[in-house]
Amino acid sequence: RVERTLDGDAAASEVVLATDETTGEDTVIKAELLSAPSTQVYHDRNVLDWLLRGRGQRECPLEPGWTPPLVGLPRLHKSCESRLIMHTRTDAATGRELPMRLFAMEVLGPSLERALRESPRGLPAAAVRALGRQLLDAMEYIHSNGYLHCDVKPANFLLKGGAAYIVDFGIAKKFVETIYRKPSERDTPGPKFRHSNLGGTGEGTSEWKSCFAERCDPLGRREDMEPLGFVLLKLSTGELPWEAES
C-alpha cells in the first residue's frame, strides 16, 4: 500500500513510501516505467544485490544465510531478494494500464543533503570524522566488489541510527583494472600502473563530478574518492571553496 511520494534526487525513477500489508513493515519502493529510456531501477537493484551478497570478493562464501559485514548498504525487502517485481499502474490522464518494474528496500532516514540544509555552517568535527570513517569503509567495500558508484553526492548518503548508508546505484559501473608498465619501464623493477577498463561516460551530477570524469578520462576509484572528499569538506565547512567564490 503506497503511503506517500518521498523527496529525493532519483530523477529517472519514482520513489515512494509504502507499507507491506502482510507484515505491516514500512518499505521504500523505487519504480520506473518499462517504456522508460533508461533501466536505472533494474540496474540499481542488481548492483545492490551483488554488493549485499559480496559476490565480488573471492573470500566471501555464497552460502545461504551468509551476511556481509555492516558496510552502509540498505537491505532489500525479502520480496526482491531474488528478482525485480513487475507491476502496473493506471495513468490518470488516459486511463491506460502502464507496466512498471520496481524493487523495495528498507526505510532509511534523511540524507546528508538535508543535514546540510539544516546546518548551513557544517556539522561538528566529531560527527564529520565518524561519517567519514563509515563512508570510506563503505566505498572500499563497493570498490573491492568491482563496482564504481559514479554518483557520489550528499543526496545519495542517507542516515539511520547514527550510521550512514550509500544508495542509488542506478549508474554504477563494473570495472576491471588492467596492470601494465610503461614501455620504457617494462624491464625495470618498480610499481606497476593501474588503469580501469572503463572510458568516461559523462554521467553523474555535474556539481559533484571529479575533474577526471569531467574530462571523460578512463574511470577508476578516484571518480568516487574525489567527490567523497568534496562531500566531507562541505560537511565540515558548510560550503565548497568555489561556492564561496561565486
Question: Could you list the mean pLDDT of each consecutive 10-residue stretch along the chain, which spans 246 residues?
Answer: 50 75 83 76 88 64 50 81 68 77 88 93 93 92 89 93 90 70 46 42 61 64 90 91 68
User: What per-residue confidence (pLDDT) applies to 223?
Assistant: 85
User: What per-residue confidence (pLDDT) applies to 158?
Assistant: 94
Q: Is 151 a catalytic residue?
A: yes
Q: Which residues contact 102 (CB under 8 A, 6 or more apart)?
A: 29, 30, 31, 32, 41, 84, 85, 87
Helical (H) or strand (E) element with 172: none
Of the residues 44, 49, 151, 168, only one is catalytic, namely: 151
- In the chain, the percentage of residues whose pLDDT exceeds 90 is 26
CA gap 32, 89 in Å, rounded: 11
Q: State pLDDT tens for residues 104-120.
A: 888 999 999 999 999 99
Q: Hey, CA dihedral for 12, 17, 23, 25, is it positive or negative?
A: positive
Q: Phi, psi at residue 17, to the nearest 5°?
A: -95, 130
CA gap 66, 143 in Å, rounded: 20
Chain CA centroid to CA 150, Å: 8
CA gap 195, 154 in Å, rounded: 27
Cell 546528508 sits on residue: 112
180 forms beta bridges with: 193
**175, 220 Cβ separation under 8 angstroms:** yes
pTM: 0.76
User: What per-residue confidence (pLDDT) applies to 6?
Assistant: 56
Please tell me the chain's helix, strand, coil percentages from 3-state DSSP, rounded to the nearest 5.
Answer: 30, 25, 45
User: What per-residue confidence (pLDDT) applies to 62?
Assistant: 47
Helical (H) or strand (E) element with 44: helix 40-52
